[in-house]
Structure 1
Amino acid sequence: MQAFRDCLEDCGLTDLGFVGQRYTWCNERLGTQRTLVRLDRFVANKGWKALFPEAMVFHMSMPASDHCLLELSLKKRGHPKPTKKRFFFESMWTRDDRCREVIETAWDPLRECPMFQLQDRIRSCQIHLQEWNRATFGNVTKALKQKQSRLQHLEALNLLHETAEEIENLRNKINEDLTKEEMMCNQTSRAIWMKCEDRNTSFFHATATQRQRKNRIEGLCDPDGAWCDNQEGIEKIILDYFSEIYSTGQPYI
Structure 2
Amino acid sequence: MQLFCDVIDECGFIDLFFIGSQFTWQKHFVDGHSTWEGLNRGLANNDWFMQFAGTKIQHLSSNALDHFPLWIILDGLEIPSINKPFRFEEMWLSDRGCTNVIEAVWTSYEEADPSNKVIKKIKKCGKEQQDWNQKHFGNVRRELEKKRKLLREVKEEAMRTGVNFQVRELKKEIDELMDKEYRMWFQRSKVLWAVNGDKNSKLFHCHATQRKRKNSILRIRKADGEWSSDMEQVTETLITYF
- How would you bin the TM-score normalised by the shorter chain? 0.3 to 0.5
Greater helix fraction, Structure 1 or Structure 2: 2
Q: Which structure would you say has the larger RCO, counting Cα contacts within 8 Å and 6 or more residues apart?
A: 2
What is the TM-score when the length of structure 1 is the normalising length? 0.37
TM-score (norm 2): 0.39
